[in-house]
Amino acid sequence: MTKNTINHHPSEALLADYASGAMGAARSLVIAAHVHACPRCRALVETAEAAGGEMLEDLPAAEMGADALDAVLARLDTPAPQPAPTAKAEAPADWIRVPDEVAQAVSRKRWVAPGVWIAPVDTGRPGGPLSYLLRVGAGMRMPQHTHDGCELTIVLKGAFADGEQLFAAGDLAEADDDIEHSPHITGDGECVCLVSCDNRLIVKDWIGRVVATYAGI
């Protein structure tokens, strides 16, 4: 069921940040899901990665500090991050494809209100950047809310409308604290989104409260 109907893409700045590897873990999950679903952005990321590689090759050798080798060796000695749990989690088949960490989060879902569940995604940094799955039932409206800092949302299943704009599976919504809105889920069925932000969430609204409670922040 490949639907090439993605209308909302990350900015080129976000894609470049992602391609460079500098993007935080939480936001990278959202961009990774979009890039997998979107041939246009996948091509842009591949181009940026290739360009980044060439830039590294062009760097003069003198740029490297005398202690660079020690630093690299020290990093090699650092234990690798804990491997993912052995159980290979599968996200529901009617979602767009998601990174493994996101699929594993499904087992942590908790119903927090009628029609709404939330599942925190383990980005390997407890207390750090926040990433969570949010499921809202068909036809429901989210309360008016704002964001602290930049927040990225990708639709994994279903669709929501925000003002004049419709966000369907694969679409990415970027919101910052200038935006105050009240998206509503279309009547066709449930909507599941992956939401990530590299800033700590400032609890202001009901979504913030339930996320803070269930995401363990």
The site for Zn ion (CB under 5 A) is made up of: 9, 38, 40-41
Nearest to 33 by CA among 149, 173, 160: 173
Residue 185 Cβ vs Zn ion, minimum distance, rounded to whole Å: 22
- If the CB atoms of residues 3 and 125 are measured against Zn ion, the closer one turns out to be 3
Residue 10 Cβ vs Zn ion, minimum distance, rounded to whole Å: 6
Tokens of 146: 């704002």
Residue 11 Cβ vs Zn ion, minimum distance, rounded to whole Å: 10
- For residues 199 and 185, what is the distance between their CA atoms, to the nearest angstrom? 25
How many Å from the N-terminal Cα to the C-terminal Cα in the chain? 36
Residue 155 Cβ vs Zn ion, minimum distance, rounded to whole Å: 12
Nearest to 191 by CA among 109, 120, 133: 133
- For residues 30 and 186, what is the distance between their CA atoms, to the nearest angstrom? 21
- For residues 68 and 43, what is the distance between their CA atoms, to the nearest angstrom? 33
